[in-house]
Structure 1
Amino acid sequence: MTSPATQSSITDDTTFQTRGGITVRRITEQHPYEDSTAPIISALDTRRGVLLASSFEYPGRYTRWDIGFVDPPLEITSRQRSFRIRALNDRGVVLLAPIARAIAATAGIEAAATTDTEINGDVLPPADGFNEEQRSRQNSVFTLLRAVIECFASPDDSQLGLYGAFGYDLAFQFEPIRLQLERQADQRDLVLFLPDEIMTVDHRRAATTVLRYDFTYDGKSTQGLPRDGERRDFQSTDSVPRDCDHAPGQYADNVRVAREAFARGDLFEVVPGQTFFEPCPAPPSELFQRLRTRNPAPYGALMNLGEGEYLVAASPEMFVRVEGRRIETCPISGTIARGRDAIEDSARILTLLNSEKECSELTMCTDVDRNDKSRVCEPGSVRVIGRRQIEMYSRLIHTVDHVEGTLADGFDALDGFLAHSWAVTVTGAPKRGAMQFIEDHEKSARLWYGGAIGMVGFDGGMNTGLTLRTVRIKDGVAQIRAGATLLFDSDPEAEEAETRLKASALIDALRRPTDAAPKVAIAARPGAGRKILMVDHEDSFVHTLGGYFRETGAEVITLRAGFPLTRLRDEAPDLV
């Protein structure tokens, strides 16, 4: 992961204490900027780790940065209410001791089995009779995460934290529904890593920094222990048994069922999806590079989650971001395809902004988002700071709102995260009813789709994106899930087509290995062999018109008005 020592320089050596009594030493090194993440990207084909990459800029919202690591010492996974915390190397063994102590002191968690390398246990069900304002504080896997974060908590570092993926089913610990879809035996609802060597890249400053951490607790230290981990080769495939979990027209049928629910007043909106399957013969690193080039996004990611599972993301949507006490989200709803050029883009933006349906979709999403924040924010602090702003991606144009609030006393980033689980832009409203509709009418469990990717910082911060426009790769099979926001006046066939449009950039990245555009037939050139004489009356448009004639293959000459008429005989044009 690191560059040669001769190319790096130590700029800081700091020691601080965490709230759980862990002494942390952090060494900061400056590294060459050019292609600095390339070793991480290639290593993630075979080694656990995460690269988060923002390749999209929007003033006041997004900048271009990368942060990544491989071979983390510690892994936290969960399925329903069962969890496992595992040391991935000898350095992780040192970290298990303070975590075990923190878990033992936390009510609502039962550690069923603890060894030198693993802690396995369960989170007890929540008690009955709590106020809605305290729902995010009821027993859940987030109770475990809060205990781990408390153990490592410190205001002295903004990068150290838990990085990885939060699955869709985690929402049911916050808002239970009736489950009926099959969950595979190897499904995981949560995979988070605690890294001890982190690379950060600031593309605006063209600066690369590597942070190396060592931990000391109860007389034991990671100092001098190797930063290593398991290697597992990527297993590719050239075929898949099916191309979609819905037959053609089935998604449109779900739209019709949803419209009946809207008519009864059961739902205001709902966002069902469908999953497309593609073979993935190329390694995940190559797919990530293609997506990053062709479809820049604020929440790009390449994750090796272990067990032959990868996530490759180009998500356009912030889920929850927390800095200090400020919490913000950017709901996206309202979509139209990009045009062939800037002029056609402009016309489509106008169409999008003038659509009452698209406006209603985003208004509903933002109203629900404001309600989510009001559960955990100071009264009067929740406000919309950006309304129906345009964000443009490789194939799509979106309308986006920007909402912020101030976390109330007694609430933290995890409360804000849970209060928004999951975003109305991937579920619907009312949220619990929409999630039940999704469970009853989609054809397969969502797994990671509709959840979140990102990091929870030990300094209290958080930066997460919705798991959209994301390829899940398992045993060489790529899965792409996409949905559409349905309202009472939704057109069934148009909504099904929208899901395919949203998935198209990812499918294209899987099918087309190079950045060369697909070959298209060369249009006939009816002007070939013709000569056209243009007369310039200084009207400001003659050369544009002449350019159009040249596109037909014709030869064009332009003369200023007043030229001798003998030029007509000399040039002998076919058209004047």
Structure 2
Amino acid sequence: MTATTHRWTTPVGLHVTRRSEPLDPERAEAELARLEDALDTRRGLLLSGRVDQPGRYRPHDVGHVDPPVEVTADHESVRLRALNDRGRVLLPALAAALASHGVHLDEAAGTITAALTGQGAARPVAEEERTRRPSAFTVLRALTAALAAPDDRLWGLYGAFGYDLVLGFDPVPLHQERDPHDRTLVLHLPDRILWIDRQRGTATLDSYEFSYAGRGTEGLDRATPLAPCGPATDPAGPRDHPPGAYAELVRRAKERFRAGDLFEVVPGQSFHRRADAPPSRVFRRLRERNPAPYGLLMNLADGEHLVGASPEMFVRFDARARTVESCPISGTIARGRDPLEDAEQIRTLLGSVKEESELTMCTDVDRNDKARVCVPGSIEVLARRQIEQYSRLIHTVDHVRGRLLPDRDALDAFLTHMWAVTVTGAPKRAAVAFVEEHERSPRRWYGGAVGRIGFDGGLETALTLRTVQIRGGVATVRAGATLLFDSDPQAEEDETVLKASALLDAVENADGTAAGRSVPGRPAAARPWPAPAA
């Protein structure tokens, strides 16, 4: 296996050299293990898919540590920060890119700040222009245009998008007290990316060097400042809703359904535990026992980690085919004790009018979201009420696809869906307002997204569901249920507890070694490498 080298110059004049090193299976798994361990104390992200679903998901790993540049945002500004000398080479190119797009900048040593105050939601815009409202995404659009690399399938911005980003597009009265240190966005611009394709049995380690305005990164150290977890801390309580309180919330929602204010809504409740184990161990336990399309381990710095096993695609955009995809999940039932009980549970789920109505409404809203940015007549439902099985749950899933309009891009596709009806409700703004009024703490990362904005013009993101938020030594798991007019309050509360249970098990038993049962077609362990094609 021989490494290959590719060189190009981006539209902003940044010279890029990429060295792609093929890895044999043993080396690839060793690199993956090192990456997982490194994320306990170093910034970075690993996305680890363990579901094989033709046309939808394939098993893979993609990750990085020590990105040279970090992009963060809060409600007032977006900041680009160089994390090492390599990032300081990149920063002038990024500043030039933003300035050329009319973004007002405040530059200091190693940091660029773009103010958001006064932008966005206050100015009315046509519905079709909603995704172009001035926001943090104005900065991201400028960066992706300036660093465009149509032939690079991996390079891009990787990270997490917080739930509160929706407030810049659908403002509602605020009832929750926000921590002034909360971020709404954390993205990394990596210079080394590990990719493992477990379906094809291939792996690469892509390393990037840059030069701009007479300065280059060749030979500069890739290390960045350490970002460890804080010490484990006892939470104030095990959950933010005592038993029965969520059921009472369901009753309040049903009053809003009767009044015609809402059709469906997806409130959540939070569960808290000490975060004794390192995030990497929690991640491995979760991946072993609850394989998912979007396994997630991210070090966001500032003592904060995300560990997850999201079952739901948020938005995927293929830049070459110009297709926008999403996979709404709604309809849930517990796994049986054996395959025969699973079959009975599936029969019950598929026969439930209430569960069918949930998914139908979610998909209708999803299609309407796409209609803002897709070619008329191109939106289609590729799969209807397909069964997906996880360690403790069975879901029904639709698969929806449209073709993006010629004058729209990946961020338009992303923003038109923000946030998915499966984590908010319908009508969406009224549901966001209900969630803000009745939940007991800000969602922070829950209900947002995680993934990649590609410099090749593509995008792949998952909803931040089934995710442990580790901060200040406490692990928090949030889980919700889709409420309709005929919801049973206790059943909906029980569903949130069931959804949280696999995550809480991973937190409490991260040192356990027993493998969870495999789901047919969805292996719990890392997929074996197939023999190379002849």
| TM-score tier after normalising by the smaller chain length | over 0.9
Counterpart for residue 134 of structure 1: 129
Q: 1:497 to 1:212 in 2, by over 3 A?
A: same
Per-residue CA shift, 1:411-445, capped at 9, x if unaligned? 11101111000000000000000000000000000
TM-score (norm 1): 0.87
Distance across 2 between alignment mates of 1:232 and 1:133: 41
* Alignment size in residue pairs: 508
Counterpart for residue 545 of structure 1: none
Distance across 2 between alignment mates of 1:238 and 1:446: 20
The one-letter amino acid of 2:397's match is: V
Counterpart for residue 295 of structure 2: 300
The one-letter amino acid of 1:253's match is: E
2:317 equivalent among 317, 322, 333: 322
Contact 1:236 1:282 in 2 (8 A): no
Counterpart for residue 25 of structure 1: 17
Partner SS, residue 177 of structure 1: coil
After the TM superposition, which residues 43-192 of structure 1 pair with which residues of structure 2 at under 5 Å, given as runs?
Answer: 43-107=38-102, 109-111=103-105, 113-123=106-116, 124-126=118-120, 128-192=123-187
Contact 2:288 2:515 in 1 (8 A): no
Counterpart for residue 14 of structure 1: 6
**What's the CA shift for 1:223?**
1.3
Contact 2:12 2:96 in 1 (8 A): no
Contact 2:229 2:304 in 1 (8 A): no
Distance across 2 between alignment mates of 1:166 and 1:92: 22
Contact 1:54 1:64 in 2 (8 A): yes
Partner SS, residue 21 of structure 1: coil
1:445 matched to 2:442? The reply is yes
Distance across 2 between alignment mates of 1:175 and 1:238: 35
2:491 equivalent among 491, 494, 507: 494
Counterpart for residue 250 of structure 1: 245
1:285 matched to 2:280? The reply is yes
The one-letter amino acid of 2:14's match is: I
Distance across 1 between alignment mates of 2:11 and 2:404: 21
Contact 2:374 2:402 in 1 (8 A): yes
**What's the CA shift for 1:105?**
2.2
Contact 1:12 1:28 in 2 (8 A): yes
Counterpart for residue 194 of structure 2: 199
Higher mean C-alpha displacement, 63-72 vs 122-131 = 122-131
**What's the CA shift for 1:517?**
8.4
Structure 2 unaligned residues grouped into runs of 5+: 517-534
Counterpart for residue 532 of structure 1: none
Distance across 2 between alignment mates of 1:392 and 1:333: 13
1:215 matched to 2:210? The reply is yes
**What's the CA shift for 1:206?**
2.6
Counterpart for residue 230 of structure 2: 235
The one-letter amino acid of 2:408's match is: F
Distance across 2 between alignment mates of 1:481 and 1:128: 33
Distance across 2 between alignment mates of 1:205 and 1:149: 29
Counterpart for residue 529 of structure 2: none
Distance across 1 between alignment mates of 2:409 and 2:515: 47
Counterpart for residue 457 of structure 1: 454
Larger RCO, structures 1/2 (Cα 8 Å, 6+ apart): 2
Distance across 2 between alignment mates of 1:369 and 1:94: 41
**What's the CA shift for 1:99?**
1.1
Per-residue CA shift, 1:502-547, capped at 9, x if unaligned? 00000111112314489xxxxxxxxxxxxxxxxxxxxxxxxxxxxx
Distance across 2 between alignment mates of 1:509 and 1:91: 36
Distance across 1 between alignment mates of 2:50 and 2:17: 31
Structure whose CA Rg is larger: 1
Per-residue CA shift, 1:117-159, capped at 9, x if unaligned? 0012312413734211001011010001101111101212110
Q: 1:375 to 1:516 in 2, by over 3 A?
A: same
Contact 1:275 1:479 in 2 (8 A): yes
Partner SS, residue 438 of structure 1: helix
Distance across 2 between alignment mates of 1:80 and 1:497: 35
Per-residue CA shift, 1:60-99, capped at 9, x if unaligned? 1100000011100000000013111100000001111011
Distance across 2 between alignment mates of 1:494 and 1:156: 49
Aligned-residue identity in percent: 56
**What's the CA shift for 1:239?**
2.5
Partner SS, residue 421 of structure 1: coil
Partner SS, residue 104 of structure 2: strand
Q: 1:445 to 1:486 in 2, by over 3 A?
A: same
Distance across 2 between alignment mates of 1:171 and 1:131: 17
1:363 matched to 2:364? The reply is no
Contact 1:81 1:140 in 2 (8 A): no
Structure 1 unaligned residues grouped into runs of 5+: 1-8, 519-576
The one-letter amino acid of 2:19's match is: I
Distance across 2 between alignment mates of 1:232 and 1:143: 28
Partner SS, residue 278 of structure 1: strand
Counterpart for residue 380 of structure 1: 377
Per-residue CA shift, 1:203-227, capped at 9, x if unaligned? 1233220000011112111111111
**What's the CA shift for 1:23?**
1.2
Distance across 2 between alignment mates of 1:232 and 1:160: 23
Per-residue CA shift, 1:29-53, capped at 9, x if unaligned? 0123232300000000010001011
Counterpart for residue 514 of structure 1: 512
Distance across 1 between alignment mates of 2:450 and 2:469: 12
Distance across 1 between alignment mates of 2:429 and 2:38: 40
Contact 1:236 1:283 in 2 (8 A): no
Distance across 2 between alignment mates of 1:306 and 1:253: 37
The one-letter amino acid of 2:187's match is: L
Distance across 2 between alignment mates of 1:209 and 1:48: 21
1:480 matched to 2:477? The reply is yes
CA RMSD of aligned residues (A): 1.3
